[in-house]
Structure 1
Amino acid sequence: MPNTEKVQGPASYFPSIEKKYGQPLEHWFQVLRAAGELKHMELVSVLKSSHGLGHGHANALVAYHLAKR
């Protein structure tokens, strides 16, 4: 029986992030790792200013990234 639970939280943005920006999620997590030990909003700013991501997408990636630290 397939898992029909709807993905919630930051991961719910992942399909649209990959589609809109044309990069796999691992690309964005590498960018975040390379940015170092910055605070949440500093990492969001890196994604927005240097990579052109929208606020919601950047915030979702950073939230997921920091939760996995």
Structure 2
Amino acid sequence: MSTDSVKGSASYCPFIEKTYGRPIGEWQQLVRTRLPAKHLDLVAMLKADLGRGHGHANAIVAHVFSDHQR
């Protein structure tokens, strides 16, 4: 799948995987285990506990929330 056709938070997935060397599904599952929680609380957890950058942490949480609302 080309990142050109992917929109929103999902477009960050290939970059997150490359940067941190782990599949995006692992990060998403970690976030899911913390639900229910507020978006910004989950972003803060990824940043503080795991050293993720704000943009990547936000994209991971946003992607989980978009899947969770379907």
The bucket for the TM-score relative to the shorter chain is 0.7 to 0.9
Q: Give structure 1 stretches of 5+ with no counterpart.
A: none
**Percent identity between the aligned chains?**
47
Secondary structure of residue in 2 paired with 1:30: helix
Paired residue total: 67
Distance apart, 1:36 and its partner CA: 2.4
Per the normalisation by structure 2, the TM-score is 0.86
After TM superposition, list the pairs within 5 Å mapping 1:53-64 onto structure 2. 53-64=52-63
Rg: which structure is higher?
A: 1
Q: 1:37 aligns to what?
A: 36
CA RMSD of aligned residues (A): 1.7
Which structure 1 residue ranges, 4+ long, deviate > 2 Å from structure 2?
none
Amino acid at match of 2:8: G
State the distance in 2 between where 1:11 and 1:67 align: 10
Residue 67 of structure 1, CA deviation: 1.3
